[in-house]
Amino acid sequence: MHQIKNIFWEDILDTLQEEKCVLFLGQSAYKGINNNSFQKSLMEWLDIGNPDHPLIRLYNPDGFYLFKKRRFKRKVIARMKEFYNQPFPNTEKEFIKLAQIPFSMIFLMTPDNILTRTFDRIGFDYSSDFYFRHRKATDHFSKPISSKPLIYNLLGNIEEPESLILTHNDFFDYLDSIFKGNSMNDELKYELENAERYIFLGLPYEKWYFQLLLRVLSLHSDKLKEIERLALKEFENPDLHELYTQEFKIEFIPTEITSFIDTLYQKCKNEDLLKRLPLKSSKIDDIDFNPQEIRNLIGEAKTIDAMEKLSSYFKRTKAINQKSVNDLLVLRNRYNILRQRELRGTIYPQDFGVENNQIIEQLLELINNSEVK
């Protein structure tokens, strides 16, 4: 890794052990379709280059949309959701390593749930949340720890369309909400402010709004000047480099994201810091596939238990294709987020019922397709 000092790695490992190291992940840390960048893959999926696009009037390179009609925003979000719910094996391969590194907090600059799906696939525990400018912060907060890290979508979550920041108006509403301190739990802010190191991977340094987001995190403040900030040298603009180095005290190192993740993973492995992979539960894994039993669990509103038993069957059955495995992970993630919204009171009961029924219908379809004919 281009002559990075040993003390650099020792310091990172120390802050990981002390649960004082926070990871920020941006879109450039993801890998898209056919070796394209994640952003390019999304743009192609949405057909952004089409001058006669039926839904989108304008797409700004900074990532903001102008829709031909307000209601078209929901249609574009539905297409985005289809994109994010695909398997991304190259991204998930990197995320499997990140999941084993003992971060206690991971903040995402993307609205997807690929990382939480990866945690679900491995069987790691976690809590998840996202910033929603239209609601007040929840009073409930559990201190993040490495055995149950917090995965936080800083710019909204694809499962809550109203939380997404797709237009300039959305972004300015978002900033207004943050500056008023409405939507992020005070205890979470405290945990951020009391960290000792931030690691930035794949963030949009060249976007004009990124500097505002750093200010939202108070990274320009003397109060947080003791927090060490590490990033990779992912752009060549010398003016931007000086700005981030001087104004935000970010230390840049000359290496690639994959190389950094691989090296950090290996360093943690050498020091026996990696999280242990969960042992398979014989209670679940030894049970023969019984589709009617799983349907009965669904009928008893034991949806998570039903998903776990179906997941166990998928793991033991080579005939099941990867799409079915991924579809189940997506459903489980959707259900977890739906329950969070119910607990926070950010979804009307009738809307909860509709979305819950949609999840159940898709789960039953997976069960039907998995039965031996």
Query: What is the reported pLDDT for 320?
Result: 67
Q: Are strands 228-232 and 250-253 parallel, antiparallel or unpaired?
A: parallel
Q: Is the pLDDT of residue 29 over 80?
A: yes
Query: Residue 201: which CATH number?
Result: 3.40.50.1220
Is 216 inside any structural domain?
yes
Q: Based on the domain organization, do 262 and 348 belong to the same domain?
A: no
pLDDT at 284: 39
Domain boundary among 213, 238, 270: 270
Instruction: Tell me whether residue 295 is in a domain.
Output: yes
Specify whether 110 is located in the same domain as 141. yes
Q: Which of 101-105, 235-239, 309-313 has the lowest mean pLDDT?
A: 235-239
Report pLDDT for 103.
97
Task: Count structural domains, the chain.
Answer: 2
| Residue type (1 letter), 206 | E
Looking at the fold, whether 254 and 343 belong to one and the same domain comes out as: no
Decide if pLDDT at 311 tops 50.
yes
Confidence of residue 279 (pLDDT cuts 50, 70, 90): low
- Give the dihedral of Cα atoms 356, 360, 366, 370; nearest 10 deg: 150
Confidence bin at 306 (pLDDT 50/70/90): confident
Specify the pLDDT at position 285.
Answer: 43
Distances (CA, A) of 78 to 45, 52, 162, 169: 12, 19, 12, 20
Instruction: Please indicate, yes or no, whether residues 200 and 308 belong to a single structural domain of this protein.
Output: no
Query: Domain check: are 365 and 224 in the same one?
Result: no
Q: Comparing 222 with 209, which gets the higher pLDDT?
A: 209
- How many CB atoms sit inside 10 A of residue 71's CB? 9
| The two structure tokens encoding residue 19 | 């649960």
The answer as to whether 40 is a domain residue is no
| Residue, of 52 and 174, whose pLDDT is higher | 52
The mean per-residue pLDDT over the stretch 150-159 comes to 91
- Answer yes or no: do 298 and 261 share one domain: no
Q: Do 119 and 24 share a structural domain?
A: yes
Q: Answer yes or no: do 309 and 165 share one domain.
A: no
Under 8 Å between Cβ of 360 and 298: yes
**351 conformational bin, left if phi > 0, alpha if psi -120 to 50, beta if neither:** alpha
Does the pLDDT of residue 316 top 90, yes or no?
no
- Give me the pLDDT at residue 282, please: 39
Among residues 232, 247, 270, which one ends one of the domains?
Answer: 270
**Average confidence (pLDDT) over 335-349:** 76
Q: Which domain holds residue 363?
A: 282-370
Pair (217, 295) in one structural domain: no
Closest CA to 204 of 234, 225, 179: 234
pLDDT of residue 110: 93
Whether the predicted pLDDT of 240 surpasses 60: yes
Highest mean pLDDT among 105-114, 305-314, 344-353: 105-114
Same domain, yes or no: 289 and 247: no
- Regarding whether 228 and 190 lie in a shared domain, the answer is yes
Model confidence band, residue 292 (pLDDT cutoffs 50, 70, 90): confident
Single out the residue in 270, 304, 338 at which a domain terminates: 270
Same domain, 97 and 245: yes
Residue 38, domain member (yes or no): no
In a domain, 245, yes or no: yes
Classify residue 175 as exposed, middle or buried by CB count within 10 Å of its CB (0-12, 13-18, 19+): middle
Q: Is residue 55 part of a domain?
A: no
The C-alpha atoms of residue 15 and residue 103 are separated, in whole angstroms, by: 9
Q: Is residue 275 part of a domain?
A: no
- Is 265 domain-assigned? yes
